[in-house]
């Protein structure tokens, strides 16, 4: 593994795709072709990408001994010993400086949200990840902060449906990841993640069913909301079947043990990729062309 690959793995560069949520407000508010608004959204994406990498590095160093017990996480640069404490610390500080600088440039609101995100994740890495249920809620809130920061950066209208749908979908993914960790860890799963002592497969299966249903219903209600209908008529209802298929497909894959890394699961499944492309294409047509 060369130095560039080690760097990208340490930054968890492939996880930056999560920060596309910073552009959700820009997209749904019909401002994608407004260069000034779009560039602010892109800069917010960059701010959260570097800030999240700083968080990943901090968390990986905190969890390095536990990660060594996991079949996949043990191969991460820090857990495997490829990255020293000095290198990890320096890289985290550089990412932190870049993220906060970009946030400050975008304004006080974005900088505040970014600071809350960072403080929340430090508390999560040190304490809150050991508290069952609260741990997945904290992870889900991280995605909500991304969406809110994008709205604040671009100064576009805030939709409560954007917040609710983001939270529920990310909660579904976080719970699904816990289920995978519970079943995939070598030997005693609690040695890898202490909070798994408080979870069981039946409980996680039950709450996954509830959360996936809530996420789909929330999206459908967004499509039926008066403000949405006033903007797009009832056309967005055409996208609901794609959301249902995507959620069910992801749940089916993770039930078969493919949910350890949500981004990897998404990027390696042809059905999920095609569904996402179709959903996005239809949304672009309905929001920007009709």
Q: Cβ distance 208 to 175 under 8 Å? A: yes
Please state which CATH number belongs to domain 1-130+141-154: 1.10.357.140
Q: What is the pLDDT of residue 260?
A: 66
Q: What pLDDT score does 4 carry? A: 85
Given a cut of 80, whether residue 231 has pLDDT beyond it is yes
> What's the pLDDT at 37?
93
Is 75 or 113 the better-scoring residue by pLDDT? 113
Mean pLDDT is lowest, of 85-99, 111-125, 139-153, 173-187, for 173-187
What integer pLDDT is reported at residue 84 of this predicted model?
85
Domain ranges of the chain: 1-130+141-154, 159-290
Quickly count helices (H) and strands (E) in the chain: 14, 0
**78 neighbors 61 (Cβ within 8 angstroms):** yes
d(CA 253, CA 245): 12
C-alpha distance from residue 236 to each of 23, 83, 162, 242, 288 (Å): 19, 47, 14, 11, 12
Mean pLDDT of 139-161: 92
pTM for the model stands at: 0.89
Rounded CA-CA distance 252/254 in Å is 6
State mean pLDDT over 71-76. 76
The b-or-e profile of 118-135 (16+ CB within 10 A means b, else e) is bebbbebbeebbeeeeeb
Name the pLDDT band for 259 (thresholds 50, 70, 90).
low
pLDDT bucket at 267, cuts 50 / 70 / 90: confident
Whether 230 shows a pLDDT value over 90: the answer reads no
pLDDT > 80? residue 59 = yes
Both tokens assigned to 119? 């403080």
Q: Name the least confident of 38-42, 212-216, 256-260.
A: 256-260
Predicted local distance difference test score (pLDDT) of residue 6: 85
What pLDDT score was predicted for residue 197? 87
pLDDT-derived band at 69, boundaries 50, 70, 90? confident
């Amino acid at each position: 593994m060369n130095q560039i690959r080690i760097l990208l793995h340490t930054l968890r560069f492939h996880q930056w795709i999560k920060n596309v949520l910073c552009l959700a407000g820009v997209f749904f508010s019909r401002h994608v072709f407004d260069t000034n608004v779009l560039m602010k959204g892109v800069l917010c994406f960059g701010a959260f990408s570097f800030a999240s990498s700083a968080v990943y590095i901090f968390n990986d160093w905190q969890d390095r001994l536990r990660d060594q017990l996991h079949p996949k996480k043990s191969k991460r640069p820090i857990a495997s010993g490829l990255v020293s404490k000095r290198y990890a610390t320096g890289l985290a500080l550089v990412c932190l400086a870049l993220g906060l600088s970009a946030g400050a440039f975008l304004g006080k609101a974005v900088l505040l949200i970014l600071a809350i995100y960072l403080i929340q994740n430090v508390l999560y890495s040190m304490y809150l990840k050991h508290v069952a249920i609260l741990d997945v809620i904290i992870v889900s809130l991280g995605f909500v902060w991304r969406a809110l920061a994008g709205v604040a950066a671009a100064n576009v209208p805030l939709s409560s449906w954007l917040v609710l749908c983001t939270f529920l979908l990310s909660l579904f993914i976080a719970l699904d990841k816990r289920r995978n960790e519970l079943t995939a860890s070598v030997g005693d799963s609690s040695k890898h993640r202490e909070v798994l002592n408080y979870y069981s497969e039946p409980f996680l299966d039950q709450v996954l069913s509830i959360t996936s249903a809530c996420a789909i219903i929330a999206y459908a209600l967004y499509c039926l909301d008066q403000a949405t209908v006033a903007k797009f008529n009832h056309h967005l209802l055409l996208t609901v079947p794609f959301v249902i298929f995507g959620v069910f497909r992801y749940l089916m894959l993770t039930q078969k043990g493919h949910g350890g890394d949500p981004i990897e699961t998404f990027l390696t499944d042809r059905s999920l990729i095609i569904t996402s492309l179709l959903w996005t294409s239809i949304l672009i047509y309905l929001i920007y062309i009709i």
